[in-house]
Structure 1
Amino acid sequence: MEEPTKKRKILDVRQSVPFCSQTALAAICKNIAEHGLPDKHSRRDIWQETEELLHNSSMQKYGSLFLTAEAETVKGGQQKLLFVNFLSLLAGVFHAAGPFGMWLLDFHERHPSSYESPWDAVIYADEIHPGNQLSSSSRKSWCVYISFLQYKSLLSREDFWYCLCIKRSAEVGELKAGMSQVMRLILESLFGTRVPETGVLLSSPAGQLRLHFRLHMLLQDGAAHKAVFSNRQDTGCKPCPLCSNIFQLKDSENNNNVWTQFLKRSDCIVASDNELMASWERLREASSGPSAVFEQRQKAAGMTWSAHALLSSKTLQELNICRPSTLYCHDYMHCLVSHGVLNEMAFLVLEDLTENGLLSKDWAMLRQWLEFWNLPHAHASFKLDVLFTSKAVASYRKAGSIKLGASEMLTLCKPLQFFLQSNFLSNGLQEATCRAFIAWADVLDYAHSIQGLQNPSPPRFLHLVEQALQATALAGFSEMMRPKHHWPLHLPDCLQRWQQLPSCWPLERKHKIPRKYGTLQFGLEAYNKAVMTGVTQEHVGKLLKDEELFMSSSHLVSKTALGKPLESLLKANNWFLPGMEASATCRLESGMLCKSGDILFYRNASTSSTAGFPWACGSLKHCISVAGMELAVVLNFLFERERPGTHATVWRSLPDRLQLVRLEDLLQPATYSFGNDGCVTCLLPAPLSAAR
């Protein structure tokens, strides 16, 4: 008699196959259990299916999906530059008539493009560092992405940005003009044929359209702008590449911080495209002269001239793409919260409070205060108080800045702002110091709200920026000002020009994909092609199959049958209907995920119960769906009061105030704190705070 077969353990599988994370292995096993083992599953089969996906005839309508160009190296040789043929990518994915094709047909019908009124392309370039950042820089790479400004709020979703190029930084450094030549070759290939101008024909079994577009924005941080536009910024005499009247001469007689002299937009004279191109042309003429004189002229102009740079392209000049002033858009995320202004201002303010005896040296009062605040469940893994352990505070003091990533600083900003308002400013303590940080927090709040505002106001935005610069000077922090303090003066101009400021948080999330493939790619010879192939096939797969990606309205995520407790609750309130489904998670119109237990703001039919406050507030209990209608079961809070001069409101939670709310009326989850009196203090999130 045979012994019964032992059940196989998943640990046995993990020990017998090449390494992958526990999460990845669990997901693989779950997928196989639900959908079965693929008929073909060898490594060669994976390669063949990738080739079939990316190199079929529909993906080559405007040429091969991957193009190469010859780039000139510093040593006089040539280096191949591999990049994606964006026109073929669009045509191929559209032809499949999947979710992307159907969505684009509908979207283009509502927002048509034409020769006279083309769509506006936006390009973003940045460096990423796959693998262990402490051990090697060999995988450090430049990434270039493209999208369209017409997408508006959809630009906050990473899958609406398309990867054009990934190239190792070490190879870019070998090129004449570096990243500027890379951008030049990509733009010459994309726009040089004038096909985007005359219209890209996209056809599928579901219909066809002709998409016209032009380059209208280069969105980058300071380092990328410096590399792409060949400007020297603070290493030259013109630390701001846009302002023609700001000069910084490093001599013994002029040691003042130049930024303290330009605290208003009216103080700045912004150079036009023609003026900057004329300066570039004068450098070209001087390049044949004595090298010492030429270097002095480059330093004075704040530019590094090269015949291979972006601005030297005759093709792009003829196409009117060489517009170094009107294409230039600062990335407010890097400017304000990625080793930015708010990181430094937070440190300066907290240190000032420490020096005046209002905070202990380890900032224990702040750490204890942050323990009382709760974040939305989407940020459940992030704890505010752990940012200010004794070890962390010591590292901040050593760096002279709050060393946090952009998302961490954004999350911290409102609680820290309220901490200063409620504990010090309201008591008349260190008012000038506290107002400096609060003013910059208001700048960030407005910038982060722009995508969600119906009519964002450039004058109001400029007023907030100038107010923040004045507050910084009044607090005695003038000498700490850096170029990042000046850049926000140009953001209202960008808002005026484009009526929006795209956020770069989705692009930081987008970077996770090339990082993932780059970390696992050990052969550097085929690195660029392997990573670009992996990134492109994954994105194409999502565009062809992920229907939820193109749902712009609020909707439930992962619906299931009703549980017994929820069914009983619905019946007790006479809300139950046969066929109901439920979910613990919903995605709001803004793109935010909201989960059961979150406290959120939502639209209210009447403001009488909130004393004129425009929104209601409550705790999300359940999300339900029936007959095509999606609703939220919310425990409605009783409005108590607003905290004057802050973004805080106080509410009272009562157990018998359950109500049904349409899912589209849910606005934003809030950061909140329960008080000893049973009240809940909620911090109004962007864009509600900017609209208030």
Structure 2
Amino acid sequence: MAEQLLGHVKSIEEFLQQTSSMAPDMQEKVAANQMEQLLHKLSLINDLTTEQATTLSAALKGPCWTATHRSTWVEAVSNKIAHKGRSNGRKPTQSLLHFGAFLTPTDVAVLAGHGNLCVKLETMVTRRLSIGLTNPSEQTVGHVIATGMHHGIACTPEDSFNLVQEFKRLLKNKRKSAPSFTEHVQSYPSDPRQLPTKIFDFAYSSEEPVQQDQAQLPASSASGQVVLRRSSKVVRDTLQGRPAHVPTNAFAPDAAKTMLSMMTTLMNMQSGMQQGTRQGSGLQNLRIFGPNGSSGSQASRSPGMLQHEDAFQSPPRTSAGMPAASPQQQQQLSPLQQQQQLSPHVQQLSPEQQAQQQQQQQQQQLQQQLQQLQLALPSGQQSPSLSRTSPTFQTHLPSMDDNDVMGEVEKSSQLVTEALENKKMENKKKPDQIAPEWVWQVPVEGFRKARKAGTTMVDLAKLGRRSYVSLNGLANVLKELKALDRLPDASSRASIKRAREDDCKVNTALGPTFSSLSIHIEELDGRTGTASIREHKLPFICLPAVLSHAIATSDGFREFFLDRLRACPNGPTSPWKMIVYADEITPGNALKPLNSRKIHAFYVSFAEMGAELSSESMWFTVLAARSELVNKMEGGFSELFKLFMEKLFEGPFNLKTGCMLDFGQGKQHLFFASPAIFVADESCIKFAWDLKGASGSVCCLFCSNVVSQNNRLDVHDATNTLVTIAETDNSKWRARGDQVLWASHDRLETIAGRGSKTELQRLQQAMGINHNYKGLLGSRLLAPSSTTMYDWMHCYLVNGLLQLELGLLMPLLYAAGHSVKEILTFFSSFEWPHGLRPHKREVLKIFEKKTAPGDFKCSASQGLSIYPLLRLFVLLHANSLTGAAVRMACDSFLKLCLVLDSLLEGNKGKAISPQELRSRIVAHSQAFLKVHSEDSVIPTFHYSLHLPGMLHQHQRLVSCFCHERKHKQIKAIANNLHKVTKTFEFTVMEDVLGRSFLSLQEYEFWTKPSVTKAKPASEELVAELVASFGLPQAMGSLAGLVADFQPGQTCEQGDTVVLGEVVAEVWLHVQLANGEVHSLVSVWEPLGQNRFNVREQPTWIATNTIDKAVLHRRCNGEALIVP
């Protein structure tokens, strides 16, 4: 760890020396940020030696470090080496003896009020954690409890012990979610204003502490009255014979009168009698063995020892030196204590007589308790009649002298020692050397044999019946169990939960993976009808820590990340472009009126990842929040987005100022990233920027003069400046940049503070922006115009332009004589390729019924399969269409298909020209207006015209196909969380992050095609491969029917594929000895108009030259393909 820290320092100095052209303020900011990261990494080192500390102290030699940096660093290293003797790297205890000065006026009011004790304890615990007091000394605990009692907590000294225990329990539970500070304060000052700046700002951000002259501190003797240990005389005797008393207003009912309490009392007294506990004196639980194997009491010790102890004991209670107890006080005493008060001469007896008399008293007391217990039993039941002197016990406890006792002890200890040694030797053996005692301890092969021999179909059918598990999920679990070397030892729900928490909640060199985001929500009290604001914690994933952990644990992701860093250089002047995606997910029933499981999710990735952005593994889920909570925030979703952006770049591990990523083997890189793209659908963009949206008069974020088609404000504009969303000439648009949008918000802020409500509403409608002083727009954390991107998938394929186009085209085709049956028969006649075959049935089902005008519905993936089929149908029947309207509608649809072709090419990572995309979108828009008029236009018609400009600015268009697939992870978890509690988001995020780590660990960067379920090639095939590729490549070759030729695309035997201008049928796939994959295909002869002559002319091609697999239909030796 120390060597890695030295490497970090060296890398920072080399980096800053190479970037001498960096602005001085930026260089200072980077150096300060890296200093905080170094201090954090230093705090994680547990075994720092003196030599390493000396080397680290002198490590900051470069000119980039200031004198303040060096002094801070040397002090931190000195403190680290000073406390290196502490085991397990635990932080030293903290001392605070002026807790009253650290309270706020609100805290004082809560402690002095008549509220519940739980609330008061929570207040003190929260205040302690806010100032970083997580490891208090025992003296500090007593002082804090005494301070609470001084301010109004009613508690007797006897009850204070239980109060301390409850206080420690609350502190332990809340310590996990407590804020972590770089500086660990050991001795707190008397004035909280002398705390480190970061701790004070965090603890008192909302309210200042009480003034020093108003601080109330308990008397010095008050802390001594708080019972901190169970061995205290105040509670020692009371805890021995009865359950712990719960203070007033505590958390559980008093159960002292129940049967369980009475039996507990009996067992405690019996245990005390066995140990011979001497009330009020001696050491607790000390047993001294007497003659004949019986355990004597504490009174059976030597007279010398008794005299030595009696010298330190208080005088015994007798009637001769103290007044006798009243009848009420006698009722509160135990029978043994009453007997001691009535026998003033008991202390004057010899030690043997005292022991004998005390034993008789204890036996009488036990008999009384047994009689009480027998009276409490129902009729017909008798209490056990066994005792220590019964023959049953005497047969197991023979009489022994002292030598026999010691011999028995040595013999027993020797047996245990030999058993432990045997266990160690057995654990060192290999699994196949261990003789199985039961079937589940058999190694893998033996386990499989036993499973095959003993498992029946009936046993398999019973699996998963008691708790519902899908067949696919059950099959996957059984496969994972087969792959394990042994079955897990733990199987309980709690054990699985703990294991999953440990797997995802990791503390890395860049901080913990899990943190929390605080939001404030407004809740209405149903009884009083009053609203109150309370704080709520949401789980937040630290992106630098996740990247660090993924790079350390996944070889595939590490190599991929290094490859992208080489392809896209990274630095403070060229940070990677961070992409933020947000959307609302609806688990369960989407039509449910009140769905409390609706959840907003935020995903983050980087534009430099290229085509891998289509993989769900490359998108990191950072935040999740239920819509029910978001709607209760004053600023709504926009405020949540603002808090998300603040948290994303908060603290020392800030990607804007650089985070050191360690790739192992001495490779380190200072990684920079900044937000560049915010992609979402129209609804999310509307709520993020507080826009009026598609239903507003001004419905576009980027244009100030584009108005809705419904109100037609352009008709009433005397200056002819306003245009509708049907305008395709972008020269008539009046663009709104970042500065204009921020100025618009400032104007609304001014009117909201000074003007009338009517004037504010008028201005909001004119600007198309809602005023939200807590929103994202006013924070200026994200540039609204230059970062926002419309998702083209939602524009065209999710209730978008494709559904609009087909809803208007299909009725015209019906009117032209093409029936539903004809269209369905045409679609059904095609054979689908391997990758699309599972979707055939659901696509054909859409065309089984007649589509009403403007009512065509399909999903995005279905739309991608429909438009090529329908395009071929239109092209084949174009000459038979006589009506002008249907011909123009078909022309508009064909131009829409060209737009989708271009967008899909760009989605695969291929470069598309913004100019070509603009010409195709404009051509389709004009053709649509020509046939369907402006009345059919929807807002996405205008949004699509902004896509070419976004492509030109960001060099790529991000679609949300991947995100919709990733939503299924959250849906699968949320669908099975039937009880919505405060920890709902934490449960979801823990599972999502665990799945993300698992997928990254199994991640393999796609570099070349591969054969699925490959088997050794046959002799005939090997002979053919020798003739085509040579003997070295043919030997050891593999063959298969299915291969992936592009990321996420597969083809199998019988599929029709396109290779540039060539169309062929796939016969076989082989993987040669050098790893290259080739396909045996039969090239077809082109006949024109997507028709080909089917022939058998096999040839070998490189599988990576395949562009795509297409639908085809054969008839009379010819084939018709769907391009």
Q: TM-score, normalised by structure 1?
A: 0.87
The 8 Å contact of residues 598 and 628 in structure 2, kept in 1 or not, is answered as yes
Match of 1:411 in 2: 865
Instruction: Give per-residue Cα distances to partners, 1:196-248, cap 9 Å, x unaligned.
Output: 12212111434322211110000101011011111112332201121111124
The 8 Å contact of residues 1067 and 1080 in structure 2, kept in 1 or not, is answered as yes
Whole-angstrom CA distance in 1 between matches of 2:768 and 2:912: 33
Whole-angstrom CA distance in 1 between matches of 2:709 and 2:1091: 52
Percent of aligned positions that are identical: 22
1:62 matched to 2:502? The reply is no
Q: Which moved more, 1:566-575 or 1:625-634?
A: 566-575
The 8 Å contact of residues 1070 and 1078 in structure 2, kept in 1 or not, is answered as yes
Instruction: Give per-residue Cα distances to partners, 1:654-684, cap 9 Å, x unaligned.
Output: 12x222222222221112222x232222233
1:620 matched to 2:1066? The reply is yes
Q: Which moved more, 1:567-576 or 1:483-492?
A: 567-576
Match of 1:532 in 2: 989
The 8 Å contact of residues 1056 and 1066 in structure 2, kept in 1 or not, is answered as yes
Letter in 1 for 2:1063: C
1:184 matched to 2:642? The reply is yes
The 8 Å contact of residues 155 and 503 in structure 1, kept in 2 or not, is answered as no
Match of 1:227 in 2: 687
1:353 to 813, 835, 852: 813
The 8 Å contact of residues 370 and 384 in structure 1, kept in 2 or not, is answered as no
Match of 1:662 in 2: 1102
Residues 414 and 5 (structure 1), Cα distance of their counterparts in 2 relative to 1, 3 Å cut? closer
Letter in 2 for 1:638: W
Shift of 1:153: 1.1
Shift of 1:369: 1.1
Whole-angstrom CA distance in 2 between matches of 1:340 and 1:249: 16
Match of 1:198 in 2: 657
- Ranked by relative contact order (alpha carbons within 8 Å, sequence separation 6 or more), the top structure is 1
Match of 2:775 in 1: 309
SS of 1:80's partner is strand
Whole-angstrom CA distance in 1 between matches of 2:476 and 2:645: 40
Instruction: Give per-residue Cα distances to partners, 1:266-307, cap 9 Å, x unaligned.
Output: 232221111111111111111123222212211211111211
Letter in 1 for 2:640: V
SS of 1:196's partner is coil
Whole-angstrom CA distance in 2 between matches of 1:137 and 1:665: 48
Q: Which moved more, 1:657-666 or 1:75-84?
A: 75-84
Whole-angstrom CA distance in 2 between matches of 1:250 and 1:475: 19
Match of 1:690 in 2: none
Match of 1:678 in 2: 1117
Match of 1:23 in 2: 472
Whole-angstrom CA distance in 2 between matches of 1:462 and 1:421: 24
Residues 392 and 200 (structure 1), Cα distance of their counterparts in 2 relative to 1, 3 Å cut? farther
Match of 2:224 in 1: none
Shift of 1:81: 3.0
Whole-angstrom CA distance in 1 between matches of 2:1003 and 2:1023: 33
The 8 Å contact of residues 709 and 725 in structure 2, kept in 1 or not, is answered as no
Letter in 2 for 1:413: Y
Matched ranges for 1:562-577 at <5 A: 562=1017, 577=1034
The 8 Å contact of residues 827 and 844 in structure 2, kept in 1 or not, is answered as no
Whole-angstrom CA distance in 2 between matches of 1:52 and 1:523: 24
Q: Which moved more, 1:159-168 or 1:629-638?
A: 629-638
Match of 1:158 in 2: 616
Whole-angstrom CA distance in 1 between matches of 2:574 and 2:1027: 56
Q: Which has the higher strand share?
A: 1
The 8 Å contact of residues 259 and 483 in structure 1, kept in 2 or not, is answered as no
Letter in 2 for 1:406: A
Whole-angstrom CA distance in 1 between matches of 2:611 and 2:1118: 34
> How many residue pairs were aligned?
648
Q: Which moved more, 1:495-504 or 1:615-624?
A: 615-624
Match of 2:700 in 1: 240
Match of 2:502 in 1: 52
Letter in 2 for 1:227: F
Instruction: Give per-residue Cα distances to partners, 1:337-363, cap 9 Å, x unaligned.
Output: 1111111111101112323x4233xx2
Whole-angstrom CA distance in 2 between matches of 1:640 and 1:158: 39
Match of 1:600 in 2: 1057
Q: Which moved more, 1:220-229 or 1:102-111?
A: 102-111
Whole-angstrom CA distance in 2 between matches of 1:537 and 1:461: 40
Match of 1:637 in 2: 1083
The 8 Å contact of residues 704 and 767 in structure 2, kept in 1 or not, is answered as no
Q: TM-score, normalised by structure 2?
A: 0.55
Structure 2's unaligned 5+ residue stretches are 1-452, 524-530, 717-721
Matched ranges for 1:205-604 at <5 A: 205-206=664-665, 207-248=667-708, 259=724, 261-288=726-753, 289-313=755-779, 317=780, 321-355=781-815, 357-360=816-819, 363-383=820-840, 387=844, 392-393=849-850, 396-397=851-852, 400-424=854-878, 429=883, 430-452=886-908, 454-525=910-981, 526-544=983-1001, 546-548=1002-1004, 550-562=1005-1017, 577-602=1034-1059
Residues 558 and 10 (structure 1), Cα distance of their counterparts in 2 relative to 1, 3 Å cut? farther
Q: Which moved more, 1:422-431 or 1:623-632?
A: 422-431
Residues 642 and 67 (structure 1), Cα distance of their counterparts in 2 relative to 1, 3 Å cut? farther
The 8 Å contact of residues 130 and 139 in structure 1, kept in 2 or not, is answered as yes
Larger Rg: 2
Letter in 1 for 2:869: P
SS of 1:424's partner is coil
Shift of 1:622: 2.2
Letter in 2 for 1:110: A
Whole-angstrom CA distance in 1 between matches of 2:880 and 2:1028: 44
Residues 164 and 346 (structure 1), Cα distance of their counterparts in 2 relative to 1, 3 Å cut? same
Shift of 1:571: 8.0
The 8 Å contact of residues 725 and 942 in structure 2, kept in 1 or not, is answered as no
Match of 2:559 in 1: 102
The 8 Å contact of residues 670 and 683 in structure 1, kept in 2 or not, is answered as yes
Whole-angstrom CA distance in 2 between matches of 1:24 and 1:252: 55
Residues 511 and 407 (structure 1), Cα distance of their counterparts in 2 relative to 1, 3 Å cut? same
Residues 390 and 116 (structure 1), Cα distance of their counterparts in 2 relative to 1, 3 Å cut? closer
SS of 2:946's partner is helix
Whole-angstrom CA distance in 1 between matches of 2:480 and 2:709: 63
Root-mean-square deviation (Å): 2.8
Structure 1's unaligned 5+ residue stretches are 603-613, 644-648, 685-692
The 8 Å contact of residues 239 and 247 in structure 1, kept in 2 or not, is answered as yes
Shift of 1:83: 2.0
Q: Which moved more, 1:22-31 or 1:272-281?
A: 22-31
Residues 260 and 50 (structure 1), Cα distance of their counterparts in 2 relative to 1, 3 Å cut? closer
Shift of 1:415: 1.0
Match of 2:583 in 1: 126
Letter in 1 for 2:1007: S
Shift of 1:490: 0.1
Residues 574 and 282 (structure 1), Cα distance of their counterparts in 2 relative to 1, 3 Å cut? closer
Matched ranges for 1:34-49 at <5 A: 34-42=483-491, 43-49=493-499
The 8 Å contact of residues 709 and 935 in structure 2, kept in 1 or not, is answered as no
Letter in 1 for 2:646: E
Q: Which has the higher helix share?
A: 2
Q: Which moved more, 1:489-498 or 1:288-297?
A: 288-297
